[in-house]
Amino acid sequence: MKSVGIDAVEIWTGNLKLDLPGTFAEQMGDDPAKYTKGLGLNASSFPDSYEDIVTMGANAAHRLMERKGLEPDDIGRIDVATESAFDNSKPVSTYVAGCLEQVFEGDFHHANKGERKFACIAGTQSLDDAYNWIRAGRNRGRAALVIATDTALYARGDAGEATQGAGAVAMLISEDPDLVELSTEQGFGSADETDFLKPNQQFPSVDGKRSVQVYLARMREALVDYQREAGTITVDDFRYAPFHTPFPGMVRKAALLAYRHITRDTEIEDELAEDIGRQPREEAFDDEEAFHDAIREYMDALKGTDRYQEWYANTIEPTLTISREVGNWYTGSVHVARASALKHAAENDIDMAGEALLVGSYGSGAQAEIHTEVVQENWHEEIEALNVDDQLEARYDINWEDYEEIHDAHNHEMDVDIEPLTTPEGEFVFDGWGRMGERK
């Protein structure tokens, strides 16, 4: 069976930075700890006035193709995953291809292009599509370019405003990949939900508290479905578990849920029973409320055990480092989490070749997917090539007045023409409708 997976990855952040515990908390009159400790965020990446989903996606893809020495002829498919699209007909991938054709010899006329939409899970769905295309043998030896790109902005005053972000992740999917092989084992949890919607509108309508509950419910279903396929798994089978990270505090909840689920009926549960008792079983309770109280107590006790805290520190915490500095990138978020974990491994001389990742993707509306990946021999070289630290460092720190202007400038319903705060350096820029992607 062909080995297929992610051969290379590149990350492109918005060029501005909003300090959350500083600038934002001060303006909101909030305790900075709500951001650093509660949500788990230090900053949001923000798009300057000349940046959008096309420019960020094309910049990430350009860097990836240049680094890997690729020409358009090497790419047979370009899929863009986004929930910030501005065109209901023409896919963002055509705009991105137009940008790339300005800088590479040849064109992408032969390439199948599309756009994937299912909120934040669409990035992973595009990976799945590319995987299936290659495994079906329809790729004629070519690789697929998957780009997850979003400007995750909320209306001013919405609770989600604290979790904004902007950036793109470009991934090359090929046979014999250098970074991770995707396994065939997958599990899904999916239901018709209305917690987060963007029906022909620029900013989402969100029921934030409910969206957290829906994330957890779908993730639980996906884990159950995954285990139907994969059989018994233990928490020690996976070196890292990158999850969709709208904000790190969300992953704190999802990780606890996953740990409890995976340790049920295992030796670990037997060992935990000595300290915190056995997990409550639904069948032992006549009263649903009493059962839920018992679960809550169990989860609280589980969270405090050394065993759980050690697992969290080793398996989850390293996936959150980049996210803490950039906020939510919607479709790119889980792919940032993977990169963050592997970057941590590279920096700490952890040998990852052959190690497994448990990847949890989620999109509102709602669907979760759990799948596994196996890290490949050349992972280190691929991860070392990322320049994300330099990009984060180079961002321009905006003050509150800048923030208000820039936020308005990205509201397509308003006509705001403002001077950019940064100067593009060898980047594609957005120059107004119909003049997309000129390189400056």
* Residue 149 or 163 having the CB closest to ligand CAA: 163
Is position 412 annotated as part of the catalytic site? no
* Residue 157 or 432 having the CB closest to ligand CAA: 157
Looking up tokens 């070519």 gives: 142
Residues lying near ligand CAA in the complex (CB under 6 A): 31, 33-34, 37-39, 120, 159-160, 162-163, 196, 206, 208-209, 211-212, 215, 244, 246, 249-250, 328, 330, 362, 364
Is position 83 annotated as part of the catalytic site? yes
Q: How far is CA 281 from the centre of its chain?
A: 34
Catalytic residue among 62, 99, 115, 120: 120
Residue nearest to ligand CAA according to CB distances in the complex: 38
* Residue 174 or 319 having the CB closest to ligand CAA: 319
Least distance (Å) from ligand CAA to the CB of residue 120?
Answer: 4
Catalytic residue among 83, 325, 369, 373: 83
Is position 401 annotated as part of the catalytic site? no
Looking up tokens 């620029």 gives: 202
Least distance (Å) from ligand CAA to the CB of residue 159?
Answer: 4
| CA neighbor of 420 nearest in space, from 35, 12, 49 | 49
Catalytic residue among 10, 62, 193, 244: 244
| CA neighbor of 402 nearest in space, from 24, 13, 12, 34 | 24
**Catalytic center residues:** 83, 120, 244
